[in-house]
Amino acid sequence: MSNAEEDLEYNCPYCMTPISVRVDVTGGRRQAFTIDCENCCRPIEIEAIVESDGTVSIVAKREGEG
C-alpha cells in the first residue's frame, strides 16, 4: 500500500530552513519543479526521483545551478 502523495523534508539551499514539499508519486519517475522558499522567498529547484518501490528522494538546488 502506498499513498499517491509523499511529504518530504529538505533544507532550503539558501537559508537552510527545513521545508516540507509534497510530491505526487504518480506524476512520473523524475519530476522537476521550482518553488519559493517560505522563509527567504528565493526560488528553489526541486528534483524528485520516485523509485520503483515508491521511495521518493529529492534534491534541492539553487535556481540556475547545475
Binding site for Zn ion (CB under 5 A): 12, 14-15, 37, 39-40
Closest approach, Cβ 51 to Zn ion, in A, equals 27
Q: Which is nearer to Zn ion, 7 or 38 (CB)?
A: 38
Q: Which is nearer to Zn ion, 11 or 26 (CB)?
A: 11
The C-alpha cell at 57 is: 528522494
Phi, psi of 26 (to 5 degrees): -85, 0
- Residue 5 Cα distances to 39, 62, 63, 64, angstroms: 23, 24, 24, 27
Closest approach, Cβ 9 to Zn ion, in A, equals 13
